């Protein structure tokens, strides 16, 4: 199927690649002093080599800068050559803040982007995992760990840790991995995904909404009580088997049809409930391919 660009990772699948960028920066200057040679009576002045001229090293900061006051979960988009601007997360955006005021242990004149990125991983790695549910070095994750420089670096480098799409695409919604209940959401119901403070909310399909449920509580791997909890890749495979065919039956479109802005996402049970075979459930929901809100029912 074509991969959905929906960004509400509410126990949904995700795919990432570590990226490093270089854009904008400051130019360092080197100064050299004049060399004086004192005349020695009745002798020729000693020959001396002229001091080598040093070429100023141009240092590019590998992260963009943010001037606005931001907080965790705020979203942003690029503005100009080397800065970003805060955005509404419901609109298409470049990235999302996962923590702020992190001291980056790196020399502001450091010219190697790899050094900057490694420093960012040290201070942002745990925040990234807690926010997205993925490891920052997981090449299969949809998200990439990133950072924004906060203000002037002359007094020390401080960054906001962020998350961006691994492919550099704009997306709508949040990258936060949120555990919430879908109780009461049935086939044909339109809804908004759970948030950090609320469960899934049923919404009139004529109003803008994030998803439309078309399969509810399908049992998976129930024939083997000793089966281990699936990995993320295994959940993707299970969802393909369960969600792919019925998607076309429900919407009238193939899940791989690139001419329509529709795809599907899926909801699955927690690992802590896996021992209860009856809780091994998976549900499928129609979403937009680019993460924007749906309007009207997608049922054919």
For 81-116, how does the pLDDT look when each residue is reduced to its tens digit (9 = 90+)? 778 888 888 889 999 999 998 999 988 888 888 999
Answer yes or no: do 239 and 278 share one domain: yes
**pLDDT for residue 34 is more than 50:** no
- Taking the C-alpha atoms of residue 34 and residue 293, their distance in angstroms, rounded to an integer, is 67
Higher pLDDT, 55 or 124: 124
Answer yes or no: do 72 and 135 share one domain: yes
C-alpha radius of gyration, the chain, whole number? 26
- Taking the C-alpha atoms of residue 172 and residue 5, their distance in angstroms, rounded to an integer, is 8
The candidate with the shortest Cα–Cα distance to 269, out of 227, 224, 235, 225, is 235
- Note whether residue 130 is domain-resident: yes
- Note whether residue 274 is domain-resident: yes
The domain of 206 spans 190-288
- Note whether residue 48 is domain-resident: no
Answer yes or no: do 157 and 72 share one domain: yes
- Note whether residue 176 is domain-resident: no
Would you state the pLDDT for residue 62?
63
- Note whether residue 299 is domain-resident: no
- Taking the C-alpha atoms of residue 285 and residue 266, their distance in angstroms, rounded to an integer, is 6
Higher pLDDT, 292 or 6: 292
What's the pLDDT tens digit per position in 216-260?
Answer: 999 999 999 999 999 888 999 999 999 999 999 999 999 999 899
- Taking the C-alpha atoms of residue 177 and residue 265, their distance in angstroms, rounded to an integer, is 14
Of the listed ranges 18-22, 54-58, 159-163, 175-179, the one predicted with least confidence: 18-22
Q: Which of 162-171, 177-186, 192-201 ranks highest by mean pLDDT?
A: 162-171
Answer yes or no: do 160 and 212 share one domain: no
Please answer whether residues 32 and 55 qualify as being in contact, where contact means their C-beta atoms are separated by less than 8 angstroms.
no
- Note whether residue 227 is domain-resident: yes
Answer yes or no: do 75 and 160 share one domain: yes
Please answer whether residues 11 and 239 qualify as being in contact, where contact means their C-beta atoms are separated by less than 8 angstroms.
no
Answer yes or no: do 195 and 159 share one domain: no
- Note whether residue 37 is domain-resident: no
Residues 6+ apart with CB under 8 A from 157: 103, 104, 106, 108, 149
Would you state the pLDDT for residue 61?
57
Answer yes or no: do 124 and 217 share one domain: no
- Note whether residue 283 is domain-resident: yes
Answer yes or no: do 195 and 280 share one domain: yes
**pLDDT for residue 292 is more than 90:** no
Answer yes or no: do 248 and 154 share one domain: no
């Amino acid at each position: 199927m074509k991969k959905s660009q929906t960004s509400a990772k509410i126990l949904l699948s995700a795919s990432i690649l570590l990226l490093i960028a270089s854009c904008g920066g400051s130019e360092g200057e080197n100064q050299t002093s004049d060399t004086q040679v004192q005349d020695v009576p009745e002798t020729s002045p000693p020959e001396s080599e002229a001091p080598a001229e040093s070429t100023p090293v141009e240092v590019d900061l590998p992260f963009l800068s943010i001037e606005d006051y931001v907080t965790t979960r705020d979203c942003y988009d690029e503005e100009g050559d080397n800065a970003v601007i805060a955005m509404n997360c419901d609109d298409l955006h470049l990235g999302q803040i996962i923590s702020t005021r992190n001291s980056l242990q790196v020399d502001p004149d450091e010219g190697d982007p790899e050094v900057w990125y490694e420093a960012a991983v040290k201070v942002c790695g745990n925040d990234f995992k807690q926010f997205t549910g993925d490891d920052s070095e997981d090449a299969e994750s949809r998200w990439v760990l990133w950072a924004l420089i906060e203000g002037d670096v002359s007094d020390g480098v401080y960054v906001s840790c962020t998350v961006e799409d691994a492919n550099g695409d704009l997306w709508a919604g949040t990258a936060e991995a949120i555990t919430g209940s879908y109780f009461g959401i049935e086939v044909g119901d339109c809804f908004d995904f759970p948030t950090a403070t609320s469960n899934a909310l049923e919404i009139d399909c004529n109003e803008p909404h994030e998803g439309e449920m078309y399969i509810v509580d399908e049992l998976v791997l129930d024939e083997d009580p000793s089966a281990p909890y699936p990995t993320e890749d295994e959940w993707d495979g299970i969802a393909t088997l369960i969600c792919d065919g019925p998607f076309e039956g429900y919407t009238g479109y193939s899940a791989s049809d690139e001419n329509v802005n529709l795809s599907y996402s899926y909801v699955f049970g927690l690992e802590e409930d896996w021992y209860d075979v009856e809780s091994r459930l998976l549900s499928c929901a129609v979403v937009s391919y680019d993460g924007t809100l749906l309007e009207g029912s997608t049922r054919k």
